Amino acid sequence: MNIFVINSGSSSIKYQMIKMPEEALACSGIVERIGSGDATITHNTYKDNEKQKHEAQSHIRNHVEGLQAVVDLLTDSKIGVIKDTSEISAVGHRVVHGGEKFSNISVVTESVKEEIKKLFPLAPLHNPANYRGIEVAEKVFPAAKQIAVFDTSFHQTMPEKAFRYAIPNKFYKENGIRAYGFHGTSHKYVSAKAEEYLQKKDIKVITLHLGNGCSVAAVKDGKCIDTSMGLGPMNGLVMGTRAGDIDQSIIFHMVREMGISVEQVNNILNKESGMLGLTGANDMRDINKAVEENGHDAVLAMDIYAYRAQKYIGSYIAALNGVDAVVFTAGVGENDVNTRERICSNLDALGIVMDKEKNRATGIKGVKDISHTSSKVKILVIPTNEEMEIARQCYQLMETNK
């Protein structure tokens, strides 16, 4: 069974085709700068564990043209992986916000699409683009089952004491204002991998998804009991351009005393804060270079970044009443040895002790154990694969509904 996974952005389409149940990656790629005169397509095919990269530039006016260009590559006589679109059994769509309505994946129907549209205000940067991807895929892959996989669904197991805010009840009951959490597909994937690696059931895991967007989750017995992001993806850890946790009084001060509009404040906290606001850069490679040069702003920013993560680790150990493993994943979590070292420092009282040599070792594939022999808690680096997790869930749904 061929599962085609789509992550549709406002001007991009990321995709993978995965053969199930073998979990074999057939192709992957991204269409970027849709709507501009210089849109690009990077398409990778995989055969005998070897990747072949194909790049093209084209005038792609919209997502329909973008996805059609991908289909042309999928069915190309020389590099194609299928003969025609009828060989795609299901299209799995990443949808960022599912609200309380969707606690599991869902076959896309007209009513499901209407619910996704209702959630546009909660994820204005993501859900409209995800919705557009569904509508385009319905036209391009008419024979395939369209399936929505929600970032928020993994976090729907949080108890009410974790997801409710201490504001008047009517705002929750009438407006759905509560913590939903994000990066759920990633947290689900790596927490399951940790359980598999440790060969232990009912484990307690803290997963740190550290990329340009960052979040942390407390997972017990495979279920999320708390997570750092809230109503939207701005809360919690310090991120590439997002502030994370902030005193609400700052927002009112900026509006009332400084004359900054609400729209500007939203833009500042979303796109101009975090590591970018503190250092002028949001790429950890650039920030680490500045740290090496002893740049004060960069050093302070890294201290703030690590300190915030440490506080969440400590609080989630309390929430879990112990922890078996701390897991690092996503771009920064998987690749930045310095960030991992900073976060794991001074946590020995919690039983978390890193082996610095293991942390800096390269060439390790799969799960990387970087905990010291004296550590009571395993420290693991696990590459995330959200597309594979989406494909798995789609395949299971297709098999169940046979």
Mean pLDDT per 10-residue section of the chain, whose length is 402 residues: 90 92 93 85 87 86 89 91 94 92 92 92 84 91 94 95 98 94 94 94 94 95 96 93 95 97 94 95 91 92 97 98 97 95 96 97 88 97 93 94 80
Helices (H), 154-295: 160-163, 169-173, 184-198, 248-256, 262-271, 274-279, 284-292
* 212 known ligand binder: yes
Annotated ligand binding at 92? The verdict is no
245 is in an annotated binding site: no
Say what the pLDDT of residue 58 is. Answer: 81
Establish whether 387 is an annotated binding residue.
no
Helix (H, G, I), strand (E, B) or coil at 250: helix
- Provide the pLDDT for residue 8: 86
Q: Which amino acids are annotated catalytic?
A: 151
Structure pTM?
0.90
Is 5 annotated in a binding site? The answer is: no
According to the annotation, is 270 in a ligand binding site? no
Q: What is the reported pLDDT for 188? A: 95
Tell which residue, 17, 15, 23, 24, has the closest CA to residue 3: 17
Alpha carbons 39 and 393: distance in angstroms, whole number: 31
pLDDT of residue 272: 95
pLDDT of the residue at 264: 97
For the chain, domains (ranges, CATH) are 2-150 (3.30.420.40), 200-386 (3.30.420.40)
Cα–Cα distance measured from residue 388 to residue 393, given in angstroms and rounded to the nearest whole number: 9
